[in-house]
Structure 1
Amino acid sequence: MPAWMLGRERPPGPFRPGFWRSPLRTPWLTSVLGLVLLAGIPVVAVTGLLSYAAYEPRLPGNDLTPDRGLLGFYLFGWPTRPVWLYRVTQGTHVILGLTLVPVLLAKLWSVIPKLFAWPPVRSPAHALERVSVLLLVGGAVFEFLTGILNIQRLYVFPFSFYPAHLYGAWIFLAALVAHVALKWPRVVAALRTRGPRQEPRTPPRDPHPGPPHPGAAGNPGAAGDPGAAGDPGAAGNRGVAGDPARPAMSRRGLLAFTGGASLAVFGLSVGQTLDGPLRGTALLIPHSRSHGPEAGGFQVNTTAASAGIDPSLTGPSWRLALAGTHEVRLSREELLALAQRTYRLPIACVEGWSTEQEWTGVRLADLARLCGAPDAAGVYVASLQEGGAFSHASLSATQAADPRSLLALRVNGADLSPDHGFPARIIVPGAPGVHNTKWVRRLEFRRFT
């Protein structure tokens, strides 16, 4: 049996200190990258939780995470004013999340030797720290990876994105809080060793990279690492290589490379949240850059063909069913004969893209009066789309009563295209794009209990 299996020495490969030889890893570098993430990740987390609230999961048919339990303690009625609210919160969530990816990768690179520390557990306190690191790293990779795949609508994982992303976020945030509490003294000590100007200019092979971590060999008052005694790689406990290789760049170059990569990602994605010339710069735009005339000049998430919409159902025989105290059925021509309202409103999708267009149609409040439900507390919207996750949605009383909430029949002065929801679609100010239901067939005005 190999000696390492008997606990007499370290396992081979990445568990050996000499495996990790880059001299660029230091506690100072790790702390700086961690502070950047600590500033950005809470913003990403809060805007993500706001996105969940915007779905109004307490209303029938809206909840994609029915087992959320106490995780929905903060839910509130999503407002319709300002109309750009969801556009800003979800755009920030996606764009900032993408921008932080290079920083996250650099941070993981800077600490990867610690993930292979030996022995794996030295004390109860060290065990707690290791568990927090495992949950933190696993949670970060899971949240960022599934988020990026969702942006591209690549659902290659064998589970539903929405509940998994929500539950994973809470686990990740709990691990982050625990990790910060455990590591904060080390972060402060590392940042005090040299200033932000001095450290990046320090030669990578500097033998004094910063204070040792608790538990490192030779650290006064520390427990010591029994596996590191007499090991030339024991400096790995300080977050640096014990036998450093020749550096390929300086620490200042590494920071510049990471910052430049983040700026590049930001520049190649932020245009998707804006209208005008900058939209053409969004080379990382989600899953489609087709904004041709057939799409009305702006992005389409789900086409009529991919949603399985039978063209015969949207032709002259189509009727909109209104259900209140009594039922009314209206053709598209009859809807066009009603009072038409025009508003310039944004559509903002969970994938991060958004656009503002001019919509014309009938107020939902006017349709509620037609079917005898002027004081309805909400509206249930059903689509011609069958079997889709968002083939129906419930709108709150606030959303249904807002004077700018429309059953849209036209956009930018022209009839809706099939891909934009012809013959009629919902447009509600401030609502997530998936609740602006396309190919509407029925509106039920009712009180939700």
Structure 2
Amino acid sequence: MREGTFSSVLHEPRTAVVIGRWLGAALLVCFGTGLVSHLLQQPPHWLAGALPSRPADGYRITQGLHVISGTAAIPLLGAKLWTVYPQLFAWPPARSVLHLLERLGIAVLVASMLLELFTGLLNTLQWYPWPFPFRQTHFWLGWLATGGLLLHVAAKAPLIAAHWRRVRPGLAQRRAFLTAVTASVGAVTLTTAGQTVPWLRRTDLFAPRRPDLGPQGLPVNRTAVQAGTAVTPAGWRLRLDGPRPALLSLADLQRLPQFTVELPISCVEGWSASAHWSGVRVRDLLDLAGAPADAGVRVTSLEADGPYRVTEMPSGYAGDPLTLLALRVNGEVLAPDHGYPARIIAPNRPGVLQTKWVDRMEVL
């Protein structure tokens, strides 16, 4: 290695510790909110009945924080790697068995963080140029990266403690560098967070989605054409399966008591948008089918396939008065892309579970 290759005074522990604090905070927020998203989408059996339907915009907040913190972590990780990269190329690569294990741990940590943030960013674009399933891979990479981070902090605890507040030579350059990093993180956040945060919508320049663009003023992830539901079957009826089975036409549903609620659609890609939904309370439909008070419901879509064609709604959601089989949005009949003739809308629920083009509801 050429002498003077890594000559900047910023390749030192104090700068690495300061950047590491910010990066660690962003990654832990990202990991925690990611766990919330995973549990809401695929809860273990013992937890499914305890999932809360309130606050109504809870998933909007947690998933928004997940994508915002993950996006902010990208420039922070770049700054952190730039600060410490002389150590990554130190020679000899291992001075002892313990040193070798530490270097291998760092390699796993860096690789898992890069892959986690890279795949997460592409998920916000709904672009999946890899052969493995995104959600499961992203979930386990999160555990791997977070575990590696905690082990790295434990291994470097004495060095971190020594430089947590200690000021080293090169203060002016460090301040300039940290200011530039702060500005980069702020710019990335301000120009992308508007897809979730309403009061930042005007600065939403680079986010993949504008929450106010799309059919009936709402974005769409999966269109009716993609789902094969652009044409509703002639004589469509909602099939209610329970102690008292029923077949309900659209006119039958419209004759039932109608309610209007304001709820957001919040998607795993990070965008969310509020709308006024009108339709029949799911609890009223379950009562019509003779379901007990603590019943959940299995919802089946008209679409022929897809990972969320069939979803299950625990009793806490099914019994919430805000949970509707929606027939209208913002005063208009649902567009095909938004689930005509009927769709589910429920509080504190991921968008992928707000089933569109509902065909069947089965009492559990």
TM range (shorter): over 0.9
Matched ranges for 1:335-346 at <5 A: 335-346=253-264
Contact 2:227 2:305 in 1 (8 A): no
Superposition deviation, residue 387 in structure 1: 1.7
Q: 1:436 to 1:75 in 2, by over 3 A?
A: closer
C-alpha distance in 2 between matches for 1:387 and 1:280: 37
Q: 1:192 to 1:76 in 2, by over 3 A?
A: farther
Note if 1:377 corresponds to 2:295.
Answer: yes
Note if 1:266 corresponds to 2:239.
Answer: no
* Structure 1: gaps of 5 or more residues: 1-14, 60-72, 202-249
What SS does the aligned partner of 2:207 have?
A: coil
One-letter code of the match for 1:421? G
2:110 to 137, 156, 167: 137
Note if 1:306 corresponds to 2:279.
Answer: no
2:239 to 312, 316, 321: 321
Which residue of 1 is the match for residue 201 of structure 2? Answer: 279
Deviations 1:315-335 (A, max 9, x none): x52111111124211111110
TM-score (normalizing by structure 1):
0.77
What SS does the aligned partner of 2:150 have?
A: helix
Superposition deviation, residue 24 in structure 1: 2.9
What SS does the aligned partner of 1:166 have?
A: helix
C-alpha distance in 1 between matches for 2:336 and 2:109: 45
Superposition deviation, residue 17 in structure 1: 5.6
Which residue of 2 is the match for residue 351 of structure 1? Answer: 269
Superposition deviation, residue 37 in structure 1: 1.3
Note if 1:366 corresponds to 2:284.
Answer: yes
Which residue of 2 is the match for residue 399 of structure 1? Answer: 317
Superposition deviation, residue 48 in structure 1: 0.6
1:54 to 40, 48, 60: 40
RMSD: 2.1
Which residue of 2 is the match for residue 150 of structure 1? Answer: 123
One-letter code of the match for 2:275? Q
Which residue of 1 is the match for residue 147 of structure 2? Answer: 174
Identity of aligned residues (%): 43
Q: 1:163 to 1:331 in 2, by over 3 A?
A: same
What SS does the aligned partner of 1:362 have?
A: strand
2:72 to 87, 99, 110: 99
Q: How many residues align?
A: 364
What SS does the aligned partner of 2:108 have?
A: helix
Deviations 1:34-83 (A, max 9, x none): 11112222111111101111114336xxxxxxxxxxxxx98883211110
Note if 1:161 corresponds to 2:79.
Answer: no
Contact 1:376 1:445 in 2 (8 A): no
Structure with the higher helix share, 1 or 2: 2
Superposition deviation, residue 16 in structure 1: 5.3
* Structure 2: gaps of 5 or more residues: none
C-alpha distance in 2 between matches for 1:324 and 1:279: 44
Q: 1:186 to 1:391 in 2, by over 3 A?
A: same
2:57 to 84, 108, 118: 84
After TM superposition, the structure 1 stretch with the greater mean CA deviation from structure 2, 143-152 or 107-116, is 107-116
What SS does the aligned partner of 1:100 have?
A: helix
Q: 1:439 to 1:268 in 2, by over 3 A?
A: same
One-letter code of the match for 2:218? F
After TM superposition, the structure 1 stretch with the greater mean CA deviation from structure 2, 112-121 or 134-143, is 112-121
Superposition deviation, residue 349 in structure 1: 0.8
TM-score (normalizing by structure 2):
0.94
